A and B are shown apart, each in its own frame.
Chain A
Amino acid sequence: MTMIREFGKALQGLWSLAIGLGVTFRAFVRPQVTVHYPRATVDDANLRTFHGHVELVGKDDQSAVPRCISCGMCAMNCPSACLTVVKQKPPKPTPEQKTAMEEAEARGEKVKKPAAPKDPARFSYDFSLCSLCGTCVESCPADSLRFSNEIYQAGFDRKDFHFDLLARLRGQAESRSGRTPNPDPSSNPKTDKGGK
């Protein structure tokens, strides 16, 4: 009696293995679900929602000039201090302006110095420190930062991840890189701060 039970148990176990092998076989004849990178690449639709490193957004009329007003909120609020924003110096007054200023000073009036341009002189970004939390994107008052869709990133040196975002923006304005998908604002909920 015991022997029959043991035999039955063994058969049951073998049957469970056969069922498992059946599952494997069915999966074997199904089409592949993986993408053979780099022979094939992931389609853009999936990359658009991916948040790569942050990048600057150009002005609507001048795409090579960032909307940035050099306020430094992004650098101040960044938890890992990976952004550096340097303001532009005010331009040197022309000889006419200089004489006008001197005259105004002699008359005891308030001197009006030429104002510095608002866009930054330098905007550098250390991607090797960034944790992609989005604090800079959320705290930017001018909406000048967004996440890029750059996914193909590998480098041999840590310096490869030190970006000059101004140069990147200028490069983007000249020609869009073929490998990055075009940002589609409608499919990326983070670019518009609807809830805030």
Chain B
Amino acid sequence: MTSSASPGRFHLGGDFYTNHFEKGGSPDTMILNMGPQHPATHGVLRVIFELDGEYILRTEPVLGYLHRMHEKMGEEQTYYQYMPNMGRVDYLHALAWNWAWAGAVEKLGGIEVPRRAEFIRVITCELNRISSHLLWWGAFLLDLGAFTPIMYAFDDRERILDILQRPTGSRLTYSYYRLGGVAADLDDTALGMIRDFVPHLRSRLPMYRNLVTGNMILRHRLEGVGHIPVEMCRRYGATGPTLRGSGVAYDVRKAEPYSVYPELSFNIPTDDKCDGMARYNVRMAEIEQSLDIIEQALDMLPSGEFWVKNAPKPKWKAPKGEVYFAVEGARGKIGVHLISDGSANPYRVKLRAPGFSNLSLFAEVTKGTLLADAVAILGSLDMVIPEIDR
């Protein structure tokens, strides 16, 4: 007989987190681990639950299984060389991170961006946002037990990847934006593909609604589940569709306008029901809103250069200073806080990932809910674990 705490061959005593996650007062409760390898956590996220029957008494997300020191890497590389890291922070909305970095350095160095590049950034970033939302849609419903929707979502997402492959050359971890522009122009073929794609996706949206949004089973699983009041969002700093699903019309593109977004007309979809269905509806409305933005940007796309002539070289030295630049990602506010001491490498890079704040409120939201609902809530928050850990 070995006691559970004795160091054995299989470390039956458990690791640090298991040992420090104390059981509650009642002897009937059970500790359950979800993850780090779990299909519903979309990456290596581990969540420890204390359960009373099927009800959750306590939750603790355990992070750090995917930590890659992106912030530290920023201090070791030049401003130019850090760009490929940005595609790996959030692989689903890589271009928003590209933009956050490019924008922060451009603000620091006072680098001008050609107008055509700004519009190309808007078009590609919004396309990337749609592809991110489509993948979320499919994966979220997969968590809830519906298999086919992800096939439809991937059918449309594939077209976006084909379009984005033309200028960027890659299909997922883009490194496309550059300091002072973008790496390649959108050629006529790509523009034609985007023009074809916008009405195509619009015609597919009613199908999405018929297949899933009106579905009785989905509504029962999401309506009233995962109630996140505005006040809780405020305490944890939740942004993006999570905040807009609580009825707050906060969008960085409107609140702290950057690039050419002030010239484009679009509204911010919100839903004040605060539940999983509200967040679902907000994201579906955002797909349509992004399509509108793309159409306007295509009409306004000026000719000219796509990369400013005197763009910084790889060994470019930034002026001394400190900047903060934020963009709206598919999951919320992406911020880059950059401190420069005047050398070729940044002195300090702080990346503000929306997923981290959105996950932080998960522990409080799941208190008292059913275990199966916790999966639905986690999915409705749209987690990308590499972004949370960075």
Chain A residues in the interface with B (C-beta under 8 A): 12-14, 16-17, 19-20, 22-24, 27, 33, 46, 49-51, 76-79, 131-135, 138-139, 147, 187, 189-190, 194-196
Contacts and interface: CB of A to CB of B under 8 A. Distances in A.
Contacts of A194: 185, 306
Given A134-B183, A196-B309, A49 B165 contact: yes
Contacts of B216: 12-14, 16-17
B214 A138 contact: no
B339 to A, nearest CB: 20
Q: Could you say which of B84, B87, B217 has the most chain A C-beta atoms within 10 Å of its C-beta? A: B84
B181 interface: yes
A51 B88 CA distance: 17
B371 interface: no
Nearest to A195: B307
Given A24-B211, A190-B183, A131 B315 contact: no
B84 A23 contact: no
B44 to A, nearest CB: 21
A189 B190 CA distance: 11
Q: Which are the 10 A-B pairs with shortest beta-carbon distances?
A: A51-B169, A13-B216, A133-B84, A195-B307, A79-B81, A77-B314, A131-B84, A133-B175, A189-B184, A23-B211
Contact of B215 (A16, A132, A190): A16
A187 B305 CA distance: 18
Contacts of B207: 23
Contact of B175 (A20, A33, A131): A131
Interface in B59-77: 77
Contacts of B34: none
7 contacts: A24-B211, A78-B81, A132-B84, A187-B189, A190-B184, A196-B307, A196-B309
Q: Could you say which of A14, A24, A189 has the most chain B C-beta atoms within 10 Å of its C-beta? A: A189
Q: Could you say which of B88, B185, B211 has the most chain A C-beta atoms within 10 Å of its C-beta? A: B211
Nearest to B216: A13
Contacts of A132: 84, 169-170, 175
B261 interface: no
Contacts of B187: 187, 189
B165 A133 contact: no
B162 interface: yes
A29 B49 CA distance: 44
Interface string B310-331: 0101110000000000000000
Contacts of A139: 313-314
